[in-house]
C-alpha cells in the first residue's frame, strides 16, 4: 500500500517541499529572479511612491529572497514576509536580517501594509481573483 501524498496547496505539502527540496530545485533563485525583475521593470513613479511608504509585505514569501531584495532596494522600508509554511519562515529568519518574517495566511493578512507584493502565489488557487481581493484589503 502506498503512502498518500499531501495536496499541492496544503500546508503539509509546502512544509515538506521547503524541508526537502526547495533549495535543490532552485526555489530561492527563482524567487529572487522574479523580485529583481519586478524591481527592474518598476516605473520610476512607483519606486518613488514606495520610497515614501513605511510598510511593505511580501505575501507567500517562501524563504524570503524577494522580501530581502525589496529591503535592500528600499532600506528605510519596514519589510515583512509572510508564508504559511513554518519551515519556509524558519529558513527566511535564519537567512535574512532586517526583515520581519511571520507565519500567516494569504486569505487573512492580520495587519495592514502600505505596499503588498505577491509573486508566484496566486496561480496556486482555484479562484485567484478572490485571493487578490483579500490582498487588496491588506493594503492601505
Residue of 6 and 47 predicted with greater confidence: 47
Could you give the C-alpha distances from 110 to 1, 2, 106, 113, in angstroms and in order? 42, 39, 9, 10
Of 106, 108, 59, 104, nearest to 86 by C-alpha is 104
* Rg of the chain in Å (alpha carbons): 15
Measured distance CA(7)–CA(70) in Å, rounded: 31
Q: C-alpha grid cell for residue 63? A: 524563504
Alpha-carbon distance values, 122 to 10, 44, 71, 115, 131 (Å): 14, 26, 22, 17, 7
Half-sphere exposure at residue 56, Cβ-oriented, CA atoms within 13 angstroms:
26
Q: Which region among 3-7, 18-22, 57-61, 118-122 has the lowest average model confidence (pLDDT)?
A: 3-7
Q: What integer pLDDT is reported at residue 124 of this predicted model? A: 86
Cell of 105: 495566511
How far is the CA of 79 from the CAs of 4, 5, 30, 55, 86, in angstroms? 38, 34, 20, 6, 18
Q: What is the per-residue pLDDT across 56-102, written as a single tens digit (0 to 9) for each?
A: 999 999 999 999 999 999 999 999 999 999 999 999 999 999 999 99
Amino acid at each position: 500500500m502506498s503512502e498518500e501524498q499531501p495536496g499541492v496547496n496544503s500546508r503539509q505539502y509546502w512544509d515538506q517541499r521547503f524541508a526537502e527540496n526547495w533549495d535543490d530545485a532552485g526555489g530561492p533563485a527563482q524567487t529572487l529572479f522574479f523580485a529583481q525583475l519586478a524591481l527592474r521593470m518598476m516605473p520610476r513613479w512607483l519606486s518613488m511612491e514606495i520610497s515614501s511608504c513605511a510598510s511593505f509585505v511580501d505575501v507567500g514569501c517562501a524563504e524570503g529572497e524577494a522580501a530581502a531584495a525589496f529591503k535592500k532596494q528600499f532600506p528605510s522600508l519596514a519589510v515583512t514576509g509572510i508564508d504559511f509554511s513554518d519551515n519556509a519562515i524558519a529558513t527566511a529568519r535564519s537567512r535574512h536580517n532586517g526583515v520581519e518574517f511571520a507565519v500567516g495566511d494569504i486569505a487573512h493578512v492580520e495587519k495592514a501594509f502600505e505596499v503588498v507584493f505577491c509573486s508566484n502565489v496566486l496561480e496556486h488557487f482555484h479562484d485567484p481573483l478572490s485571493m487578490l481581493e483579500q490582498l487588496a484589503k491588506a493594503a492601505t
